[in-house]
Amino acid sequence: MIFGLVQILLFQSLGELVSKFLLPTLPGPVIGLVLLVLWLVIRKGINAELAMVADGFSQYLGLLFVPAAVGVVLFLPQLKANAIAIISALIGSVVLTIASSALVSRFLSKKDAHD
């Protein structure tokens, strides 16, 4: 279990270093996660220690939503004042996401049909 935790912390540290010196606009943990995924793809699998730590973390993933819920309650007056803009932005982004996903799916399915 310690080795799995060390792997996660190592890739997060690498991500922080890359963020600090090469890509300051991207968060270090995100870069570290991408590096970890690339490492796992190169290795073609995940070791047991890392899987055990990931399973342990995923059990408590719901706790990450507590600060977001507190933020919603804290900024409720601003959310109410801008409700129309927020709702229209959410609906617009959902529609654009579905439309772009459909176009990409159609484009890729036509390529598969020709192959």
Q: Are residues 53 and 99 in the same domain?
A: no
Residue ending a domain, choose from 26, 43, 59? 59
Buried b (16+ CB within 10 A) or exposed e, 64-102: eeeeeeeeeeeeeeeeeeeeeeeeeeeeeeeeeeeeeee
- Domain containing residue 12: 1-59
For residues 49 and 70, membership in a common domain is answered with no
Verify that 7 and 43 share a domain, yes or no.
Answer: yes
Please state the pTM of the whole predicted model.
0.57
Q: Are residues 2 and 33 in the same domain?
A: yes
Residues 55 and 17 placed together within one structural domain of the fold: yes
Q: Are residues 52 and 87 in the same domain?
A: no
| Tens digits of residue pLDDT in 27-75 | 988 999 999 999 989 988 888 888 888 888 888 888 888 888 888 888 8
